Structure 1
Amino acid sequence: MTRQLIAYVHVDGVPYGPDDKVPAKIAERIGAHAWTNGDEQVEVSTPTGGGDGLKSEAPPRTGRGSGIEAWLAFAEQHDVGTDSDMTRDDVIAACEAAGVIEPDQPKE
């Protein structure tokens, strides 16, 4: 019996999906609710940057989980071009420019 993810999850900013082989050390960190035993048919929506597919949620802009790795993985999922010279803020700006996320609104 093999376990299979029922949806996409991010661990340390790295996305894992139903068709991915998840390393044992990573699998230990994913809750039981995210797995199926592989015998059941699972309907999975692949995150995409447009169309009728589901978009994965953007990482937070500040605080835990807001690092450049998370933003690079998010940008890659949504086909937003990045390069090695970009900072986290550059990646966020590129996602905004591509229309993948809304521009950050200053708090009043």
Structure 2
Amino acid sequence: MARRLKTFVHVGGNPYGPDDEVPPEVAEQIGEHAWEDDSGEAGDEPTRVGYDDPRTSPTSTGEAPPRSGRGSGIDAWRRFAEQHEVEVAADASREDIIAACEAAGVVEREE
């Protein structure tokens, strides 16, 4: 049975969604929790969390994510850092990513 993504994920800085064909080498990097069986039945809608499409979220416009509330998670900050070519470790926390963005001068320090 074919599989499809339940929601949007990012691999290597590239977004993939329920309607995208995911290359095999990318699919290997995505956890089982992100997949569902593609039954092909009409009316099945993928579960979407947060913004419907990360390609149109506030960070896709170059705007920094909020520091609290909706859209302030680690994925949003990691995407923002990647867009601004700020290097962060793969295991960096959200706070580490924000600090790196501050150090690179792409966001102002919050006092």
| TM-score normalised by L of structure 2 | 0.48
Give TM-score, length-normalised by structure 1: 0.49
Higher helix share: 2
